[in-house]
Structure 1
Amino acid sequence: MTILIPSYEPDERLLTLIHNLKEEAKGTSILIVDDGSGEQYKPIFDSAAEAGCTVLRHSVNQGKGTALKTGFNYVRQHGSADGVICADSDGQHLPEDILKMTDAVRNNRNHIVLGSRQFTGKVPLRSRFGNSATRMVYALATGKPIQDTQTGLRGYSADMLDWLCRVPGERFEYEMNMLLEAPKAGYDFYEVPIETVYLEDNKSSHFRPLADSARIYFPFLKFVTSSGFSAVVDFVLLFLLQWLTSNLLVSVIGARVISSIFNFTMNRRYVFNEGQGMSFKKSLPRYFSLVAVILIANYALLYLFHESIGIPLFIAKLVTEVVLFAFSYLVQRRFVY
């Protein structure tokens, strides 16, 4: 089993982690990727190499996703057949938790093994909020609840390495893209509870809250944007067709058909990566079947909330749209494209 540690501008905690891993699991293969940290940090990486680690170097910082892919590609060519455990270099993953992952990887082939923090005790507010938000977005996007979507402690069997090198993303968004792409690639998840460790309120983290969060949420934001543009097209066409035909039924149907075609084209081409291999002939009828189901569900939910339960129409409409929006994203990602 290879322990892969991507590292950018590390401190002595990296060397402490290496020492502890060597003590607790003699013969463990440790691979470190220096992601363009610069000359100032060369002594730390040299010490890691002297301790028996393999050190790969990027001349400039390329991001965590690229560093992981560099490591995966190296293991694919030179590593063992057991698999890879990825850990962070900032001391937030305990050696015993890292080593606990090895058995889980061996016993759960075709699974991404996640070291899941429980977020108990003193957790920085930024980290607690970020993990809760990402967990909710991921559950809405995939229908698969995961306790810790942002964990950097992950394990993979060796036969997953080719796929891991193809997952898009260069920085922190890579790890979220991996979780989004895994179900379609046939991989499930197995979570291993680990300790929640934040040192000095996570000051050593290189995660940029705005820029990197935008990258993480980008797949979902693309869907939101596409849906928003489609709603505008539907709205404008409704009034335009009503002005031209003075027939409300024709206007409603015409606007919805054209806006649906627009939405299908946008989602297929830009949101879901040109169909992920799904043919046009298959995705088109699936999409419009979904449109029909959503129309029926829209009426049914509105009737339930407003007529049966007595919720005000505005609130009933809002709740209905939120539920169907999440349902539409989930179905399109998993079955349409």
Structure 2
Amino acid sequence: MIILIPAYQPGTALPQLVTDLLSADPRLIILVVDDGSGPAFSAVFDDARRAGATVIGYPRNRGKGQALKTGFGYAERHHPGQDVVCADSDGQHAVPDILSVAEEVRAGDDRTMVLGERRFDGAVPARSRIGNALTRALFRSAAGGDLHDTQTGLRGYPAQLVPWLRSVGGDRYEYELNLLLRAGPAGHRIGRVAISTIYLAGNGSSHFRPLVDSVRVYAPLLRFSLSSLAAFGVDLVAFVALGLLTDSLVLAVVGARVVSSSVNFLVNRRFVFGAGRHASQPGAARRYFALVVALLAANYAGIFVLTDLGVPDVAAKVLTEALLFAVSFAAQRRFLAVRIPAAGHGAPPDHHPNRLISRAVP
């Protein structure tokens, strides 16, 4: 078993973590990736080596995602067939929790990644609590599963997943969320182990940049929103033009939706739900346009009711589209991507049996 620790400007908690892990299990291979920390931190990495870790890295900071992929590549070349558990370098993952995740990986199958999920009890910094709640809600919308902790850095992967891990895009904090979003379409499963929540000194050691890194993390939803906004613009222009040409609400609604939905399908398939482009295009198109018909009926009904109540056509159109946005996103995610499948035994009642698995380790 490899314990992979990406590290950027670490403190003394790193060599202590290496010492504690090897004291708990001398068979572990500890691999530390120096993510361009600079000469000022050489002593910390030297201490980690003396404690028994293998330290690799590069001179310029390239982000946590790149550090993880560098570690996966090293593991694949030098320790083929070894499972990998990733842990943070700042002491926020307790050794017993790391070993619990490792044990769950050993006990699982070769297509199931394991997350160490924090309970978020006790004194949790506000930005961490809010950030996790927001990401959890967005993940539920984008991937259809309710993960309690989408931002955990404690994760375990069977050896067979390592090539796939290296293929997923993202160089910084968005990489770990990308793994969760891409797991289902790639046919992989997500297991979970409950771990303790530890924040040291108000999480002051975190290198997460709230604005820049949040944009990266939430990019998939932002891409969908921009795509939908563009499609809405096309739909609205076509709706007004056809309404003037035909003086028919039915023809205006139907014609505008045919044009805008064709544009939206191609954009979402290629740029938003990227994994969907590898599926059969005719099959995806049939599912998508079945959705279009259903939304079209709802769209027409909404506009008809609102205009009948005296709301102007364009205002009725805008209001109806706004109400249907969330439905459209959730449904397109289902049709253009693949659901996260179940693995092993039944999931708890609050989890869909076809999406996620959860098995807490005492």
Give the deviation of 1:161 after TM superposition: 0.3
1:284 is the counterpart of 2:289? no
Supply the distance in 2 between the matched residues of 1:269 and 1:80 (Cα, whole angstroms).
34
Secondary structure of 2:37's aligned partner: coil
Q: 1:310 is matched with which residue?
A: none
Q: 1:54 is matched with which residue?
A: 54
Q: 2:236 is matched with which residue?
A: 235
Q: 1:3 is matched with which residue?
A: 3
Task: Give 1:198's aligned amino acid.
Answer: Y
Supply the distance in 2 between the matched residues of 1:239 and 1:232 (Cα, whole angstroms).
11
Deviations 1:138-186 (A, max 9, x none): 0111111111000000000000001000011100000000000001111
Q: Pairwise mapping of residues 283-322 of structure 1 onto structure 2 (< 5 A)?
A: 283-296=284-297, 320-321=323-324
Deviations 1:75-117 (A, max 9, x none): 1111252400000001100111111111100111221100000
Supply the distance in 1 between the matched residues of 2:282 and 2:75 (Cα, whole angstroms).
39
Residues 21-30 or 191-200, more deviating: 21-30
Deviations 1:10-43 (A, max 9, x none): 0101111111112111231100000000111111
1:212 is the counterpart of 2:219? no
Supply the distance in 1 between the matched residues of 2:205 and 2:121 (Cα, whole angstroms).
20
Q: Pairwise mapping of residues 172-211 of structure 1 onto structure 2 (< 5 A)?
A: 172-211=173-212
Unaligned runs of 5+ residues in structure 1 are: 304-312
Q: 1:67 is matched with which residue?
A: 67
CA, structure 1 residues 265+323, in 2 after alignment: closer, same or farther (shift >3 Å)?
Answer: closer
Give the deviation of 1:332 after TM superposition: 3.5
Q: Is the 8 A contact 1:98 1:153 kept in 2?
A: yes
Supply the distance in 1 between the matched residues of 2:198 and 2:303 (Cα, whole angstroms).
46
CA, structure 1 residues 212+69, in 2 after alignment: closer, same or farther (shift >3 Å)?
Answer: same
Supply the distance in 2 between the matched residues of 1:12 and 1:238 (Cα, whole angstroms).
63
Q: Pairwise mapping of residues 1-337 of structure 1 onto structure 2 (< 5 A)?
A: 1-79=1-79, 81-109=81-109, 110-273=111-274, 275-296=276-297, 320-321=323-324, 323-334=326-337
Supply the distance in 2 between the matched residues of 1:281 and 1:39 (Cα, whole angstroms).
55
Supply the distance in 1 between the matched residues of 2:335 and 2:325 (Cα, whole angstroms).
16
Supply the distance in 2 between the matched residues of 1:249 and 1:320 (Cα, whole angstroms).
19
CA, structure 1 residues 23+193, in 2 after alignment: closer, same or farther (shift >3 Å)?
Answer: same
Give the deviation of 1:49 after TM superposition: 1.5
Deviations 1:193-241 (A, max 9, x none): 1010011110100111111111111011111111111111111111112
Q: Percent identity?
A: 45
Deviations 1:243-263 (A, max 9, x none): 223333222211111011111
Task: Give 2:158's aligned amino acid.
Answer: S
Give the deviation of 1:273 after TM superposition: 2.5
Supply the distance in 1 between the matched residues of 2:302 and 2:116 (Cα, whole angstroms).
38
Supply the distance in 2 between the matched residues of 1:297 and 1:335 (Cα, whole angstroms).
25
Q: Is the 8 A contact 1:4 1:85 kept in 2?
A: yes
Supply the distance in 2 between the matched residues of 1:233 and 1:319 (Cα, whole angstroms).
15
Secondary structure of 1:30's aligned partner: strand
Task: Give 1:262's aligned amino acid.
Answer: V
Secondary structure of 1:184's aligned partner: coil
CA, structure 1 residues 241+156, in 2 after alignment: closer, same or farther (shift >3 Å)?
Answer: same
**TM-score relative to the length of structure 2:** 0.84
Secondary structure of 1:152's aligned partner: coil
CA, structure 1 residues 333+120, in 2 after alignment: closer, same or farther (shift >3 Å)?
Answer: farther
Residues 285-294 or 54-63, more deviating: 285-294
Q: Is the 8 A contact 1:298 1:320 kept in 2?
A: no
Supply the distance in 1 between the matched residues of 2:320 and 2:245 (Cα, whole angstroms).
28
Q: Is the 8 A contact 1:62 1:171 kept in 2?
A: yes
Supply the distance in 2 between the matched residues of 1:301 and 1:251 (Cα, whole angstroms).
14
Residues 96-105 or 294-303, more deviating: 294-303
Secondary structure of 1:31's aligned partner: strand
Task: Give 1:321's aligned amino acid.
Answer: L
Give the deviation of 1:283 after TM superposition: 2.4
Supply the distance in 2 between the matched residues of 1:244 and 1:165 (Cα, whole angstroms).
53
CA, structure 1 residues 274+196, in 2 after alignment: closer, same or farther (shift >3 Å)?
Answer: closer
CA, structure 1 residues 143+274, in 2 after alignment: closer, same or farther (shift >3 Å)?
Answer: closer
RMSD in angstroms over aligned alpha carbons? Answer: 2.3
Secondary structure of 2:34's aligned partner: strand
Unaligned runs of 5+ residues in structure 2 are: 305-315, 340-362
Task: Give 2:149's aligned amino acid.
Answer: D
Secondary structure of 1:56's aligned partner: strand
